[in-house]
Chains A and B, each alone.
Chain A
Amino acid sequence: MPFKFRKRESVSRKAVLLVPLLSFAVSLLFGAIMLILSGADPVVTYLAMFGGAFGSTHGLSEVLVKSIPLILTGLSVAIAFRMRFWNIGAEGQLTMGAVAATGAALFWSQGWPSWTIMPLSIAAGCIAGGLWAGVPAILKATLNVDETLTTLMLNYVAVLYSEHLYYVTWRAPGRNSGTERIPQVAWLSRFLGRAHTGIFFGLALALVLWLIFRYTRWGFELKIIGSNATAARYMGINIARNIILTLLISGAISGLAGAVEVLGLTRSLQQGISVGYGYTAIIIAWMAQLDPLGVIFVAFLMAALLVGGDQIQMRMRLPASVGIVLQAMLLIPMLAGGLFRDYSLHWERPPKTDGVAGSMQADGMEAGGAED
């Protein structure tokens, strides 16, 4: 094979900028092929997508609405992945956060002063999410149970449990599904349409996590554990304790995502709480290279892609599946592009065979000496 991948010695600045841009260009190209095959004009479709996401206040508002849970779950996944704990349960943690926040606002805050309902709801969401991630963490730390299975399985438990609640136990009288609205004192205020103040939780947390990773002893330990767990143990770092602590925080952030969805957007527990943000978060965390500030940026783009994809279904009258396939087509090259950030591709020519062989005849000559 004349083509070879070589690990880059250091990540060059040029690659950091160029790789995503080129990946994006390839993405558009792939998407265009798909669109032509489904009989749509790629240029018109792309413009419609862009217009759908950024062309109106409504579009922009929807982008913000979707980016809130994506930022929070993206941070949640990123912090767990930093120590190589494969938490793919952000979806379930988000759902449990939504359940607990609803429960706190509707049922468990009876008799408390009304101003406490919102903080209680948020706290309940965080705690529920944290516990939901804490169970796999404890299993991993004590019995070395594989976390990919436990976190994934708990997603189904959480989603089905929430459905049980809003279809049966907590269902509001007179509705087919969904709970009562939560009291207005617990609502997060909105701006620009449906966008809500939950976004500030995401932005603030990203900054705090960035500072923690960079400047604290704990961040230093997380980095060591994530890079080389054997070395971490040797350095005297308690890995089990760190797994549990980190996952409680990771889960709490996903739980917060669920809580602000309820308090800011749906204002009740109903269908549409679990729409896969927790899975998209995995892609976001990777694309952001587990960097908290990167998560904000990537989550926003991802939200735009989702909103734009929804818009073309309506505007271009394309089947819904085309929008989803298009989203995937756009993502794959972006993810694959990450390879080129760490590796460079080389075309290796077979070495010249003449010349050197000639000098071989003369015994005692320094072969190849003139080449450099």
Chain B
Amino acid sequence: MTDGIRPLTVSAPVLRMRGITKRFPGVLANDRIDLDLYRGEVLALLGENGAGKSTLMNVLAGLYRPDAGTILLGETHVEIDSPRDAAELGIGMVHQNFMLVPTMTVAQNIVLGMPDLPIVPDLEEIHRQIEALSNRYGLLVDPQAYIWQLSVGEQQRVEILKLLYRGADILILDEPTAVLTPQEIEELGHVLAAVQAEGKSIIFITHKMGEVIAFSDRVCVLRQGRVVATKRTAETNPRELARLMVGREVLFQIEKAPADPGETLLVLRHVCADNDKGLPALRQLSLVVRRGEILGIAGVAGNGQRELAEVITGLRDIKTGEILINGRDRTSSSPLQMIESGVGHIPADRMGMGTVGNMAVADNLAMKSYRSPPLAEYGILRREKILRFARSLIEAFGISTPTPQTPVKFLSGGNIQKTILAREIDACASLLVAVYPSRGLDVGATEAVRRRLLEQRDAGRAVLLISEDLDELLTVADRIAVLYEGRVMGIVPTASADVETVGLLMSGSEAAELDGVTSAPSTVGAF
């Protein structure tokens, strides 16, 4: 069953992976996986988080060594022990977090680490070569620009150029669309087509059904470390793929009652704040969230989303403007004061900020409520009460963990997120700030997260949902505010919103030019 489906052209695969098995402590990440890749095709590798997609591709890219299995390139056995080995074999990977040096130029990044680079490279010649490649594939980027000057989408182009420059014939893209606007995703589609037209093969990892259908020729579905199906894209549909991926029927549409917004809970007025580099991140930003509504924040990553969440949760100081919660002035409050004001926060960085990896699940669940009874009395922790508290949250939120004492880092991404969600919802009394809450989660966990957010809304709490997934915003939010360079470009009621309009706002078009969109200041002016 390795290959029931042949591509359109009948030829031998350029790449064959056979019986790839990779174990991590306690997890069988890849279980005897077979995969074929043909010349000039786009293969989508579809699967939930933890299905083993990235592991398999890291094996191919030389980052992991499989415990068992073989890789054939054409008819030859290959041992890929390092990314350098992979590059020599014409295999290259664009990772989810880009591997670029911000203080160096595009050209420098592209040639960096190439083995046969002369001691003094001829930069002029390299620039010419890169420009030629850029034009050939429609990957427009200035070879002399510095990486830090580039948008995320442009950085991705540099990563792809890097592979092409080094003559890769097999390109692996790990969730390439996660950081792009709808328009940029479309451009990526053209690039893939151009690359494909030259007979190169592309594997792209995704868990989004739409992209599978739009970009791929074949799709290989992984579940729990095994291949569950390989299909020709033209012969399948999103519903079938989702079922294969999750192992059960999935509801794409979450049932959602109309919002019943109550009193104003959060008000930001003309807030300005800097980012970590001291550059303006929020510029005169104003918005309002009411009880019983979900305000979605759309925008390409890096337009002030992170700073917005940090300002509201007290993690970042604001320079001017004011913040009101429940009518009370909360400008320049500490994180603890914000927690005490009833603000919950699901941070974007789950391992770096949201949890303490080496501490127990139970401890992590208690980290917002350990200060007061019943979990602590007179400064002494009540261990047995913390354990009981943790057990009840583990059950209520369906967190799958061997024991409450297991260090949280051993949990899967979805369960780590459920741990954070449980803690924040339990501790949050009025406002929940959720930043990319379903990023990287599988369909099942995503559904659970979204349901919880709606539950919070229906319980009369306010929810601020920052997301890069427009489908998510359109499904869950009641209104969508679009953030661009630290400003609210416009606010669209979800009922009348469409991807096109929001996409244009995301790329900086003024609300006034578009129909049916309120520009932000007038909305706020009402309060």
Contact = CB atoms under 8 A, between A and B. Distances in A.
A175 interface: no
A223 B21 contact: no
A367 B18 contact: yes
A208 to B, nearest CB: 13
Which range contains the number of B residues in contact with the other chain?
Answer: 35 or more
Contacts of A234: 313, 315, 335, 345, 347, 353-354
Interface in B377-396: 379-381, 383
Interface in A5-25: 9
A227 B357 contact: yes
Interface string A217-241: 1111001100110111111111000
A314 interface: no
B128 interface: no
Which range contains the number of A residues in contact with the other chain?
Answer: 35 or more
A351 B77 contact: no
A45 to B, nearest CB: 42
Nearest to B406: A10
Interface stretch (B61-69, B216-224, B439-447, B487-495): B61-69
A223 B367 CA distance: 11
Nearest to A211: B380
Contact of A224 (B4, B19, B356): B356
B380 A366 contact: no
B240 interface: no
Contacts of A236: 334-336, 338-340, 368
Contacts of B363: 220
Interface string A330-372: 0000000000000000001011010011011001111111011
Residue with the highest number of chain A CB atoms closer than 10 Å, among B2, B70, B313, B381? B70
B19 A364 contact: no
A363 B353 CA distance: 48
A224 B67 CA distance: 35
Contact of A364 (B1, B26, B340): B1
Residue with the highest number of chain B CB atoms closer than 10 Å, among A236, A359, A363? A236
Contacts of B335: 233-236
A356 B71 CA distance: 10
B381 A216 contact: yes
Interface in A230-287: 230-238
Contacts of A360: 16, 18, 70, 72
A223 B67 CA distance: 36
B32 A367 contact: yes
B72 A366 contact: no
B70 A230 contact: no
A228 B340 CA distance: 22
B352 interface: yes
Contact of A231 (B2, B21, B352, B376): B352
A351 B32 contact: no
B123 interface: no
B254 interface: no
B353 A231 contact: yes
Contact of A233 (B18, B19, B315): B315
Contacts of B328: none
B383 A224 contact: no
Interface string B1-39: 111100000000000101101000110000010100000
Residue with the highest number of chain B CB atoms closer than 10 Å, among A215, A365, A368? A368
B70 A351 contact: yes
A353 B381 contact: no
Contact of B376 (A217, A368, A372): A217
A356 B69 contact: yes
Nearest to A350: B79
Interface in B328-367: 334-336, 338-340, 345, 347, 349, 352-359, 363, 367
A219 B334 CA distance: 21
Contacts of A231: 352-356, 367
B370 interface: yes
B371 interface: yes
Given A227-B358, A234-B347, A217 B19 contact: no
Interface string B50-82: 000000000000000111111010000101000
A9 B26 contact: yes
A63 B21 CA distance: 55
A230 B352 CA distance: 7
Given A230-B353, A233-B315, A353-B70, A368 B336 contact: no
A219 B380 CA distance: 9
Nearest to A348: B65
Contact of B334 (A9, A223, A238, A367): A238
23 contacts: A9-B26, A215-B380, A217-B380, A218-B379, A220-B370, A220-B381, A228-B356, A234-B347, A235-B367, A236-B334, A236-B335, A351-B70, A353-B70, A356-B69, A363-B2, A364-B3, A366-B1, A366-B32, A367-B18, A368-B18, A368-B32, A369-B19, A372-B32
Interface of A: 9, 215-220, 223-224, 227-228, 230-238, 348, 350-351, 353, 356-357, 359-360, 363-369, 371-372
* 9 residue pairs, one from A and one from B, having the closest CB atoms: A368-B19, A236-B336, A9-B25, A367-B19, A367-B18, A236-B339, A236-B335, A227-B356, A228-B356
Given A219-B381, A351-B66, A366-B1, 14 more contacts: A9-B25, A9-B26, A215-B381, A227-B359, A228-B353, A233-B335, A237-B336, A351-B67, A353-B70, A356-B19, A365-B2, A367-B2, A367-B19, A369-B19
